[in-house]
Amino acid sequence: MKLKKAVETLLYPLVGIVVSLLVWQAISGGVTTAKSPSGEMEEVRTGLVKDLPGPAVTWERTRKYVVEPFAKREELDQGILRFTWYSLLIVAKGYFIAIVVGTPVGFLLGLSRMFTRMFDPIIQVLRPVSPLAWMPLGVVLFSGAGRSANELGALFTIAVCAMWPTVLNTAVGVRAIPQDYLNVARVLKLSRTKTLFKILIPATLPYMFTGYRLSLGIAWLVIVAVEMLTGRIGIGNFLWNEYNNGLYTSIILSILTIGVVGFLLDRAMSLLEQRFKSI
Amino acid sequence: MSHHVELSNLTKSYPTPKGPAVIVRDFNLNIRKGEFVSLIGHSGCGKSTVLSMLAGLNPVTAGGIILAGKELVGPGPDRGVVFQSPNLLPWLTAFENVLLGVDQVFYTASREERRDIAEYYLTVVGLGESMHRRPAELSQGMRQRVGIARAFALSPKMLLLDEPFGMLDSLTRFELQAVLMELWARNNITALMVTHDVDEALYLSDRIVMMTNGPEAFVGEILEIPWERPRDRRQVLEHPDYYRLREHLIGFLNVRAYTLKGLTPPGGDAGHGPAEPAPKATAPKPTEPAPIQLEALAA
């Protein structure tokens, strides 16, 4: 039984990774030398997707970013985790703004019918707007801020895009509070503040954390676009520079890093979420 | 002041497209201070509606409620409510659940005194050992004990119980009935309990109010239960009048709850058609005015 579980949780994912690597290798491009019709030896590009570097080549060319993940050789030549760290810092700030603004807005939406009627249409219209569309507006809005205009624009974009899941989930959570709990507050005549802190917030917490988890996912999605547009140093910016340099292996490394970091953030948040759900 | 609680012409109706749907019409009842009154009737007859109007959780359509000389408006901690499911806040421990109400009512007392009050009532209901556990870690019966402790800890002017033992197995129910009796007697609290358990009503009550079927339900009959207190469950069961009273209640529920409203009781006219409602004739006292005294029954 224990063995079966170990197989399922460890071996199966490992098999999946190996299979994916093999497929990657199989379709990727490579170079071989062959004799041309004129009799000279010349390089021939092979493979299904000729411009896609295979796993081995990718590792070979990007190793310096990985084996010294925190190295700083030049401004644009740093370890991959160092780039990631810069990105995480700005994401953390933007995400913090998103939940600090989004949670109270969600509460107001959940508590007040009038507030919902007023602002729900606007929220529904703004919600699907892409970060690429917010970014220029953010930069313009803070263009008076001089050197920090870029940073403020980036924070604005992350905050605005990441806010919606927090807003909507909190609102749903508040509306889903069982009438029984509210009756307790009414029977005891709890004050507004006491009702908020003793009943509304604890009862909404699981929903709020679902919102927080989804918001963090979006904040991390947005960072790449933000760095591409603003030129802030970070993982997204690294990806974009290497694309301009034609170094496709670095793009693959960046994509994998962004994915792994996003996955780890999501896992961490969902552990936190489970803690609150278990109450 | 003779009556502690007065419900006069209490009416509840909900507006519908076809006109108001009347759940309870002209419900009249007076309760003496320290009296334990049960409200029985078929499910859906509106007995819980009456209770929730008393609790202030359901607005009164017409008529009024006076508690200790004051007309009731809205909910308040002067009435301790025990719900069918104990409605504990799952993120608070049993102790914190009780303390929440105590803090609210005894805000002038010191922190220590308030903690003592909560602890005292939890100990009395038998949770001295497990008061710092969360509701999820307590059995159904233990949770309802917390619910009872929470209601009594408010030192309310009145206790409202909405089928408080309906979700418990019969052994646990007996235990909790005894706990309730003990606390009620010790605190001399006026109580109104909604139930559909005839034996529970007989064991606990001074008076049993029988409600007719809904819609537009009203007080059908009132039965006085004159047994001395404190009551012992076995003595109650062995009392010569026990089965007579029980029969009377069941007769009401099976027949008169319908006939008083001009309805035909179920099973009474199988295959006979809608002509003369047969059970009307077999009902022992179809038009007996309330309240019915024990002597009248024993005759």
Chain A residues whose CB is inside 8 A of the B77 CB are 187-189
Q: Residue B286 pLDDT more than 80?
A: no
Instruction: Tell which residue, B253, B243, B186, has the closest CA to residue B38.
Output: B253
The predicted pLDDT at position B280 comes to 39
Structure-token match 């009248």, residue found = B296
pLDDT for residue B278? 38
Averaged pLDDT, B75-98: 92
Q: Is the pLDDT of residue B145 over 60?
A: yes
| CATH code for the domain in which residue B64 is found | 3.40.50.300
Q: Do B55 and A187 touch (CB under 8 A)?
A: yes
Q: What is the predicted pLDDT for the residue at A30?
A: 76
Q: Which pLDDT band holds residue A151 (cuts at 50, 70, 90)? A: confident
Q: What is the model's pLDDT at position A4?
A: 85
pLDDT (mean) for B167-171? 89
Q: What is the mean pLDDT of chain A?
A: 89
Please answer yes or no on whether A199 and B90 come within 8 Å at the CB atom: no
Residue in A188, A205, A279 closest to B77 by CB: A188
Residues of B in contact with A188 (CB under 8 A): 77, 100-101, 104-105, 154
Q: What was the pLDDT predicted at A228?
A: 85
Interface test with A, best of B82, B100, B157, B162 (most A CBs within 10 A): B100
Computed on alpha carbons and rounded to an integer, the radius of gyration of chain B in Å comes to 20
Residue ranges per structural domain of chain A: 72-277
For chain A, state the CA radius of gyration: 25
Question: What is the number of domains present in chain B?
Answer: 1
Bridge partners of B71? B66
Q: What is the pLDDT of residue A279?
A: 57
The three state secondary structure string of A61-82 is HHHHHHHCCCCEEECCEECHHH
For residue B32, is it within any domain?
yes
Is the peptide bond between B215 and the residue preceding it cis, with omega within 30 degrees of 0? yes
Q: Which of A41-55, A146-160, B139-153 has the highest mean pLDDT?
A: B139-153
B104 in contact with A, Cβ within 8 Å: yes
Q: Which residue has the higher pLDDT, A31 or B236?
A: B236
Q: How many residue pairs from chains A and B have C-beta atoms closer than 8 A?
A: 51
Give the CA count within 13 Å in the CB-facing half-sphere of B236.
21
A187–B85: do the CB atoms touch at under 8 Å? no
Residues in A touching B100 (Cβ below 8 Å)? 184, 188, 190, 198
Give start and end residues of each alpha helix (H) in B154-275. 170-187, 198-204, 233-238, 242-251, 257-259
pTM of the model: 0.78
Q: Which spans in A112-200 are helix H?
A: 113-126, 131-141, 149-175, 179-187, 192-195
Identify the residue whose tokens are 């030398």. A33
- Distance from the Cα of B286 to chain A's closest Cα (Å) equals 40
Q: What is the mean pLDDT of residues A86-93?
A: 95
> Could you tell me the residue range of the domain that residue B216 belongs to?
5-78+156-268+287-298
* Residue B100 at interface with chain A, using a CB cutoff of 8 Å: yes
Q: Which of A182, A186, A188, A194 to mutate to test the interface with B (most CBs of B within 10 A)?
A: A188
Chain A residue with Cα closest to B58: A183
Q: Which tokens is A21 given?
A: 């690597």
The residues, any chain, with a CB within 8 Å of residue B87's CB and separated by 6 or more, are A180, A181, A183, A184, B147
Q: Determine the average pLDDT of the residues in B140-155.
A: 93
Instruction: Quote the pLDDT of residue A72.
Output: 85
Given this model, what pLDDT does residue A278 score? 57
**Greatest alpha-carbon span in chain B:** 70
Nearest CA-CA distance, residue B135 and chain A, Å: 9
The secondary structure of residue B57, as a DSSP letter, is S
CA distance B287 to B266: 19
Mean pLDDT of B242-248: 92
* pLDDT tens-place string over residues A184-205: 999 999 999 999 999 999 999 9
The residue of chain A with its CA nearest to that of B106 is A188
Question: Exposed, middle or buried by CB within 10 Å (0-12, 13-18, 19+), for B191?
Answer: buried
Contact between B89 and A190 using a beta-carbon 8 Å cutoff: no
CATH superfamily of the domain spanning A72-277: MetI-like (1.10.3720.10)
Whether residue A126 contacts residue A191, with contact meaning beta carbons closer than 8 Å, is answered with no
3-state SS, residue B280: helix
Quote the pLDDT of residue B2: 65
Task: Using CA coordinates, name the residue in chain B closest to A205.
Answer: B91
Nearest-angstrom CA–CA distance, A86 and A235? 8
Q: Which residue in chain A has the smallest CA separation from B137? A: A279
- Closest by CA to A216, choosing from A168, A268, A278, is A268
B126 in contact with A, Cβ within 8 Å: no
Collect all residues from A whose CB is shorter than 8 A from any CB in B.
180-181, 183-184, 186-190, 194, 198-199, 202-203, 205, 279
The pair of three-digit structure tokens given for residue B185, joined into one six-digit string: 């007697």
φ/ψ (deg, to 5) at B66: -120, 125
pLDDT > 90? residue A120: yes
Q: Output the six-digit token pair for A234.
A: 């970070």
Q: How close is the nearest chain B Cα to the Cα of A170, in Å?
A: 18
For B87, which of A184, A189, A205 is closest by C-beta distance?
A: A184
The whole-angstrom distance between residue B177's C-alpha and the CA centroid of its chain comes to: 12
Residue with tokens 């985790």: A81
Helix axes A235-244, A201-230, angle to 10 degrees: 30
pLDDT band of residue A220 (cuts 50, 70, 90) is very high
Q: What is the mean pLDDT of chain B?
A: 86
CB-closest option in B77, B89, B136 to A181? B89
Cβ distance B77 to A198 less than 8 Å, yes or no, reads no
Query: How confident is the model over B19-59, as pLDDT tens digits?
Result: 889 999 999 999 999 999 999 998 888 899 999 999 999 99
